[in-house]
Amino acid sequence: MILSGKGGTGKTTVAAALAHLAAQEASIVLADADVDAANLELVLSPQLQEEGEFTGGGLAVIDPELCIACGRCHDVCRFEAIIPGDEVYAVDEIGCEGCGACAYACPMEAIEMQEQLDGKWFRSQACYGPLFHAHLFAARENSGKLVTLIKNKARALALERGADYLLVDGPPGIGCPVIAAISGADLTLLVTEPTVAGAHDLGRILGVARHFGIPAVVCVNKYDLNFAKTEEIAAWCAAQGVPTMGRIPFDQEVTRAMVQGKPITEHSDGAVAEELRQIWAWLKARLD
């Protein structure tokens, strides 16, 4: 499980490289739990094999024929998603969280909760193993539920095939998709960067890992952009009892590899690839 708190620290770059390295010696299943902005497929260019629909939640729909504009729905909605009108009320589709309170409150039974197609999930075949990923439609709810769906599918296949590792690329932040992604992991690798923001958000994501009892290790990406900050982070981690398992240098080759759609470890044999090989060896030892 790869997480970061702060976005853009290099989760997907690290995940793609670890997938490449792990697949050389073990059987793996991959999952991209960043369903808002899934990027792992851009590096792994997998072949799509199966797709399915994701209906996350409901949407309140008011029947204008039945609505008497009594305002009960507006009174009970906690999400400011009911738009009052003189003759009929309406629903702000973006604001509606699908709770159904309005449907229960409506004395005319004019409100129906309709299932909504919120996204799609995919099973693809990457050259390193099967990849489960998803696309949550723009501005939709329930990213946590979609993450859980992807992870359950990936776990089921991993168990069925007797795979050695399930590698999950996580979303940024600490909220619902992260919590859905982290639950049940054996180990989480927290990717950070040597900046005040990276350090601050590392503290928050480590708090989440602890809250759910998931062991964590840290790696500092682009560590040479600020040596002092890197050592500050490593010292802080040590004080927390969390090992810093790697220091990945900054290298523009990483972007070039991304543009070519390849993991950095496959693209070149530079210092970044070397450090990632080391990180994989550490992780493997830790997991076994």
Partner 1 sequence: MIITVASGKGGTGKTMVAVNLALVAASQRPGVQAASGDAKMLSRYDTRPLLLDCDVEAPNVHLFLRPTITGQEEVVLPVPEINFERCTFCVRCAEACRYNALAVVREQVLLFSELCHGCGTCSLVCPEGAVREVPEVIGLIEEGAASTPLADLDFAHGVLEVGRAIAPPVIRQLKRRIRSDGLVIIDASPGTSCPVVEALKGADFALLVTEPTPFGLHDLRLMVEVAREVGASGRTPLPVGVVVNRDGIGDEKVDEYCQSERIPILMRIPFDRRIAEVYSEGGLVIEALPEYRDQFRELYQRIREEVNK
Which spans of this chain sit near partner 1 (rule: CB under 8 A)?
4-9, 12, 34, 36-37, 39, 42, 57-58, 76, 78-80, 92-95, 97-101, 104-105, 136, 138-141, 143-144, 171-179, 193-197, 200-201, 204, 207-208, 211-212, 225-226, 229, 252, 255, 258-259, 261
Nearest to 95 by CA among 67, 70, 119, 73: 73
Rg (alpha carbons) of the chain, rounded to whole number: 22
Fill in the DSSP letter of residue 100: -
Please answer whether residues 129 and 28 qualify as being in contact, where contact means their C-beta atoms are separated by less than 8 angstroms: yes
Q: CA–CA separation, 221 vs 224, rounded Å?
A: 8
Q: CA–CA separation, 181 vs 25, rounded Å?
A: 25
Residue 96 or 163: the one with the smaller Cβ distance to partner 1 is 96
Residue 36 or 275: the one with the smaller Cβ distance to partner 1 is 36
Residue 163 or 170: the one with the smaller Cβ distance to partner 1 is 170
Residue 172 or 263: the one with the smaller Cβ distance to partner 1 is 172
Please answer whether residues 201 and 194 qualify as being in contact, where contact means their C-beta atoms are separated by less than 8 angstroms: no
CB of residue 219 to partner 1, shortest distance in Å:
15
Residue 24 or 252: the one with the smaller Cβ distance to partner 1 is 252
Q: CA–CA separation, 64 vs 285, rounded Å?
A: 63
Q: CA–CA separation, 229 vs 223, rounded Å?
A: 8
Tokens (6 digits) for 57: 């939640």
CB of residue 173 to partner 1, shortest distance in Å:
4
Residue 161 or 256: the one with the smaller Cβ distance to partner 1 is 256
Fill in the DSSP letter of residue 225: G
CB of residue 269 to partner 1, shortest distance in Å:
21
CB of residue 78 to partner 1, shortest distance in Å:
5
Report the chain's terminal Cα–Cα distance, integer Å. 15
CB of residue 16 to partner 1, shortest distance in Å:
11
CB of residue 25 to partner 1, shortest distance in Å:
27
